[in-house]
Amino acid sequence: MNEDFEFIAEVLDDNQEVKPIELGGGLIEYRKYAWALKFLEDKVIKLKKYKEQVMVDIDKAIEGKEATIEHLRGEIEKAMLADPAVDNTPTGGKNLQLPDIATISISKLQEKIDIIDPETVLTELGDEFKVVKVSLDTSKAKKHILETGKLPKGAEKREDRTMSVRFKK
């Protein structure tokens, strides 16, 4: 391994800049540079593969941690909704205060509309829901659909709630 660094050191000056090839040095002079080039190219390929594998490993770790976080949030939410000891909020949600670590709040279940195909929804609801650039005013359309209860083609209805966790400093 030290030999590898020796031939690299032979082609670099004190400032770690590549020295010019000495003319008249014959094939041996070119050979030093070729070995340094080969070694460094191999090193770069190995480092790129290593970097790629590290990134894959980190991505897997992140995905695993995110899945665990979602599972923990789900368990907390499920337990809070079922536990009569958890305080109800005036708006229909739940609130749990853990003085030493966090306050966990769950909003009431709310209906939300997802516009999957704005053109289809616009065609069904009509021009009154157009905005200047002739597209669907999604905020207005969502409000209208929630108020009337009529779900046009191109829209889906789902139920959603939010959870807030505020950790103590």
Report how far residue 154's alpha carbon sits from residue 54's, in angstroms, rounded to the nearest whole number.
42
pLDDT in tens, 11-52: 888 888 888 888 887 888 888 888 888 888 888 999 999 999
Q: Where are the domains of the chain?
A: 2-81, 88-167
- Segment among 2-6, 9-13, 140-144, 163-167 with least mean pLDDT: 2-6
Listed in sequence order, the residues at least 6 apart from 47 whose beta carbon sits closer than 8 Å to its beta carbon are none
User: Which one is predicted more confidently, 117 or 36?
Assistant: 117
Residue 132: the pLDDT is 63
Residue 18: the pLDDT is 86
CA torsion 66-67-73-77 (nearest 10°) is: 150
Angle at 143 between CA 137 and CA 149, to 5 degrees: 125
